[in-house]
Structure formats: C-alpha cells, structure tokens
Amino acid sequence: MSSAEIRSIFNRIAPVYDQLNDWLSFGQHRIWKEMTVKWSAAKTGDKVLDLCCGSGDLALRMARRVGISGKVYAVDFSPELLKVAHLRSKASYPTPSINWIEADVLELPFDNNQFNAATMGYGLRNVTDIPRCLKELHRVLKTGAKAAILDFHRPENTIMRAFQQWYLDNLVVPVASQMGLKEEYAYINPSLERFVSGREQVNIAGEIGFANAVHYPIANGMMGVLVVTKN
C-alpha cells in the first residue's frame, strides 16, 4: 500500500478515530500511551516530538509532561486527523502549547539534534520505509535522548495469535463496518502481517546507530513498545 493510500485511509477515519480506539481496546490504549510517555523520559521544560500524532492523544500527554516551559511538536501526514487534534488541544485547559505540523515522517522538517525526547503511537507499522523513519528520528534527536514507539504486533504465542485474529475478524471489522468504515479498518490485518517483529525492530535501530534499543511486549504480545536511545 502506498503512502498516499494510507494517508487517504486516515483522513477518512479521522471523525471516529478516538471513539473506535476506545471501543476496540476497551479503553486500555490510555494505559499503553501513558507507559509510552513514561518510557520516553520526557521531563519538564523539554522540547519533544510526537510522530504520527493522529488525533493528538500522545502529544497532549507529552504536553502535560513537559509543562508550560516545554515545547511539543506533533507531526502527521493526515490533515483531517490534525484538524481533530487541534480542536482537542483548544478544548483542553490549560491550553497546551503544541505545534501541529503536516509532514511526512520519512522526511522531517527539522534540523539535526533538536529534541530531548520523542514518542510515536501506531505509526511505525504504517510507514512505507521503517529504516528510513527510524533514521530520521535518530537525526532529529539530541545525544542521549530517548524515543518510545508504541504499536500493534502479531503475538509469537500461537494461542494469543489466534485470539488476536478472532478479535480482528469478529469485533474490529464488524464494528468498523457498522460505521461505514469496513475497508478502512480491514487494512489492519495485512499491516500486522508485514510488520517487523520487536526483535527485528531492535536490530534495525542498532544498525541505524541507536546506542540502545529494547522492545517491551505488552498486552500478551499483541502490543509492544520499542524504546531507543541516541548515543
């Protein structure tokens, strides 16, 4: 699937993206995102980056983490999701200082060595070139900075793998179908099939030049967080 096709999917699901995430994860995505923010090691006053920011969940959490003295830059290639994110941030109190930027994570519009920490939620699986994405992330992070990358995975355990497939076939796609988004959410299954494992993500990160890379399986291996550190 091309980058333009993926962008089109996310533009179409933007109005119901948050509602579906809540339903389909039974609200657990909030816990996973808080874990991701914690693993990014962002702190008060930091300049931080959120890639594939979607409707802004992680960016808003990062804004709370860095406080009014910090800066958050949130990047997504879907203008419709960015509109939703901007509206959400305006409705927050106090209003967080977030720069919403429409851009491709494969070609980030930032100079080298800019950010103290970074996050990415459910985006790495959808980029068309994972090594290039991680290389761009490495380029814009400061020395010693961490990034935490959350995403769906295929569990290695055969029982959990079968459960995940049942869940996708019997809950995710039917719920999306009721909202007129069957085709848009059917993409999840093939995206999981082609997504590299946590072990492979660690290897790619090491080859790119990250000093340390650890992948933490969560939710019985159906989710995972890759935590990388720039040397």
| Predicted confidence (pLDDT) per residue in 142-196, tens digit | 999 999 999 988 888 899 989 888 888 887 778 777 777 777 667 777 888 888 9
% of the chain surpassing 70 pLDDT = 90
Measure Cα distances from 186 to 28, 117, 120, 175, 211 in Å. 21, 33, 22, 11, 36
Measure the CA–CA gap between 149 and 188, rounded to whole angstroms.
18
What's the confidence (pLDDT) of residue 18?
65
What's the confidence (pLDDT) of residue 197?
92
Query: Distance between terminal CA atoms of the chain?
Result: 33
What's the confidence (pLDDT) of residue 16?
65
Measure the CA–CA gap between 167 and 175, rounded to whole angstroms.
11
The alpha carbon of residue 166 and the mean position of all alpha carbons in its chain are separated, in whole angstroms, by 24
Domains and CATH numbers, the chain: 3-230 (3.40.50.150)
Tell me the whole-structure pTM to 2 decimals. 0.88
What's the confidence (pLDDT) of residue 152?
85
What's the confidence (pLDDT) of residue 20?
67
What's the confidence (pLDDT) of residue 76?
95
Q: Which residues of the chain have pLDDT under 50?
A: none
On whether the CB atoms of residues 121 and 186 are closer than 8 A, the answer is no
